[in-house]
Structure formats: structure tokens, C-alpha cells
Amino acid sequence: MSDLKIPRRVSSALLNSISAGVTPRIGLEYMAVGRREEIGTLLDDLANVAEGGSVFRFIVGRYGSGKSFLLQIIRNYAMDRNYAVADADLSPERKLTGGSGHGLNTYRELIRNLSTRVRPDGGALPALLEKWISGIQVHVLKELSDEKSAAGKAGEARDTGEAAGEAASSSAQAEVDLRMEARILREIHQMDTLVHGFDFAKVLTAYWRGWKSGSDELRSAALKWLRGEYTTRSEAHAELGVRSIIGNDTWFDDLRLISAFARTAGCTGFLVLLDEGVNLYKISNSQSRNNNYEKLLNMFNDAMQGKMQGIGIYMGGTPQFVEDPRRGLFSYEALRTRLVGTRYVREGFRDLQSPLLTLDKLSHEELFVLLKKVLEIHCAHHQSQTRVTDHDLMEFLQLALSRLGAEELLTPREVLRDFVGILNVLLKEPDISFQGLLTGNLFHVSSAGEESRSGNDGDGEAVEFTL
């Protein structure tokens, strides 16, 4: 049995994700291998974002090469360091812009998945609002306490009657509310210069007033606006007094407001993770595709020119999505000139500060270590003793790498999915060996010298072969 200590909930999620060929959202630290240089680059980005900088990078790799895995790793790293992280997979219904509210759908998905260290599974927007208000309240109470201590006992009331006590308590609460509202207005005033900043400030003020008065309706209306759920301006104006709503064309400007607010609420920075960028490449209409690339260009320019503060944006995609001269990013000249590599960086060298972070293949040694980690997770989850040796792992890797085109086309996803499938069979078939599954030779020599299939009772039935 493996000595690895891992919660069963985590090991189950890891093994299920591997079997289905998808990226797990939890437990990635148990199977992270390689990518040291790439992770180092992304951690440097986080440090820059924490200092108020901004960055935009494309994480490029073939299907199953680990780009989504890398995005999830940086997501977990960021949340551990008190960043707010919003992530979404692009799809035919979620793009950067387009008819039927495709851009707004992306914004709604990002806000739905907004996560922090205390809310790692999404839905962190209400928690951020509560944290922001509580932080202001603590600051105001400390401020009043310091003023009272400085004044000394000279100004203390001598009337200790019940009515006087109630009046003093009411007066103190009124003072707290007055100072809190003044501080809230002061903090959100800095957002007025951004697009929709004035209305955003009014929405935050409405949420505070709902919090103060205990009005669930007012708080719900504010959250509805922040989540982009209003469909008409008249409805938003009637409930919140604002004249704008988050729309299909302006959603990224409003996301910048959410980023600024998250940092005001105490977060170190704000990350936006957009995966499956290939769905932009798949847009069949050239005008619609170019509109999305134009939106992407604007986002890229704002981040790389320093027009935004404390925000990092990462998009995952395939080499085809980037390099195809007819439909990829390189088909849009303004993006091609910004993303194409320098002619002086020759093969064997990497520019890790480039906007394009292309993932190299894992080495054979790294794949071997990855298989060892997955084997430990599998044994720990099923509380079983492994029957797979290091020699078996090397045989499995050699067989996988010996396939035609494997050196260029084989990905960690395919290797792991095949490997876990073998482990699952071995768990239920104790008479079959690892080598037997690899070679297809599921026979052993019986004590009577007769050849029979492992697990067969020797009833003499014929066995079918396929050549």
C-alpha cells in the first residue's frame, strides 16, 4: 500500500479526471511534474501584478499537452497567495464578443467562477463584498476607539441612567454608520474614472445600504447588476438608480472594475484565465472571427501597455489557434506582429518573457516520475498494494513511445489515461500481470503443463485469437 496521505475526495477527483481526459481542479500538487521554467515565469508575473502591474500571456500547447493543467496550477498558486481568480472556458456560446450575448455569457461565467482563498470553488463575489464592508467597519471602529482613548476620561458622560445609555448607544451607532458611508464613498471614488465607474460606485453604495438596513432586496439587486443579469437599463434604473448595465460590448471594462474592487477589498491582485481559445479559431464567419480578434487585441494592448493595474490575463490555446495564417491569430496582422517570435532566438533557446509561452514536451524522465505519482495516488485511493514495478513503468513508456509518430504527437493525457485504465483492470483481475496486459499475452502455464488463460478454470474451451 502507498504511504501517500491524500484525502479520498481529492484522490477520487484526480483519478476520475485522468480517466475522462480532463484537467482536475483540486489536488494538482500531488501530480505536478516538470514545467519548472514556465511556472517560474508565471510566478514572476504574479509578483508584478501584486505591485500593480498587468500582463497578458498565451499558454500554447497541443491538446492534452498540459496547458489547462498549467492554468489550474497557477490558479491554485494565486489563490494561496490571496489573489482573486476568475476563469472560464470559451465555447460556441461564450466568446469575447458576438451576437446573442456571447461576450456577456463569458463575463457571467467568469463571475460565477470567481474564486478566492476562502471560496476556492467559485461564487466569491458576495464574500468579497462582505469582506470589504467588514474591513471598513473594523477600521472605523478602531479609529473611534483611538479617538476615545486620546480624549481620556474627561469627556465621559456622568449620567449612567438607562435612557442616557440608550441615547449614547444610538448616537455611537449613528456615528459609525456616518463614518463608514464616508469612507466607502472615498474608497470607491477612485473608480469613477473607469468606464461605468460612477454607476459601479452607486451599486456598491446600494449594497452597503442594504447591508446596513438588512434589506435583502437591495443587496440582491446590487449583486444582480454586478453579475451582469440585468437585461434592460430601465429595470436597473428602477431598482438601483443607475443608467447603465453590463453588456455584450462593455463586459471587459466592467471586469476591470471588479478587479479594482477586489484589490480594494484586500486581494493581492486579480487573475483572468480563459481556456479553449481554439473556439475563436473555429468561428466560421470571418467577420465575426475578426471582431473577436479585435476585442482580444484591445485586451492585449491595455494589459501590455500598462493601462490596467493589478490584473493578469492568461489564455490557453493550441498552436493551430495561434499560427494558422488563414484563421488563427496570425491571420490578424495586428496580433501577428505583436506575437511573432524574434528572428534571433534560434532553436534550442526560449524567450520565456514572450507573450507566447509555448509548452515543450515533457522529457521521458518527467513522464516516468509522473507515472510513479499517479501509481501512488491510485494505490492510496484503493488502499491496495502495488504490483507494478519500476521496470514495468519503463516497459510501458517504451511501448507508448515506440508508436508511430509518438515522439511528436504523444501527450501526457493519452499516457495517463492508458496507464490508469491498466491499473483499474489489475485491481479487479489479480491473476493478470501488468506485462500480460502490455503484450496481450494473458496466458500462463498450469501445473499440469497445459497452457490456459489467467483466471480460466481450465474447462478446455477454445480461445479466439485475432491476428
Which 3 state secondary structure label does DSSP give 60? strand
Ranges of H-type helices in 214-350: 216-226, 233-240, 251-264, 278-281, 286-304, 319-323, 333-339
Q: What is the secondary structure of 394-454 as a DSSP string?
A: HHHHHHHHTSTTHHHH--HHHHHHHHHHHHHHHHH-TTS-HHHHHHS--EEE-TTS-EEET
Number of Cβ within 10 Å of residue 441's Cβ equals: 12
61 and 83 co-located in one domain: yes
**pLDDT classification of 158: cutoffs 50, 70, 90:** very low
Mean pLDDT of 37-42: 88
Whether residue 420 lies inside any domain: the answer is: yes
pLDDT in tens, 236-259: 999 999 999 999 989 999 999 999
Average pLDDT, the chain: 83
Compute the distance between CA of residue 224 and CA of residue 215 in angstroms, rounded to an integer: 14
380 and 422 co-located in one domain: yes
Residue found under cell 509518438 = 406
Grid coordinates standing for 311?
490584473
Compute the distance between CA of residue 190 and CA of residue 309 in angstroms, rounded to an integer: 13
pTM of the full structure: 0.81
332 and 368 co-located in one domain: no
370 and 427 co-located in one domain: yes
Which 3 state secondary structure label does DSSP give 461? coil
Which 3 state secondary structure label does DSSP give 315? strand
Compute the distance between CA of residue 87 and CA of residue 271 in angstroms, rounded to an integer: 8
Using a pLDDT cut of 90, give the percent of the chain over it: 38
- Using the 3D structure, point to which of 358, 385, 419 is the last residue of a domain: 358
Question: Quick one: 178 exposed, middle or buried, by C-beta within 10 A (0-12, 13-18, 19+)?
Answer: exposed
Q: Which domain holds residue 435?
A: 364-453
More confident residue, 62 or 351: 62
**The CATH number of the domain where 315 resides is what?**
3.40.50
Measure Cα distances from 101 to 221, 232, 246 in Å.
Answer: 21, 13, 11
Number of structural domains in the chain:
2
pLDDT in tens, 364-380: 888 888 889 988 899 88
pLDDT at 2: 60
| For the chain, the helix, strand and coil percentages under 3-state DSSP, each to the nearest 5 | 55, 10, 35
Grid coordinates standing for 375?
501509481
- Phi and psi at 84, nearest 5°, equal -95, 135
Residue found under cell 455611537 = 172
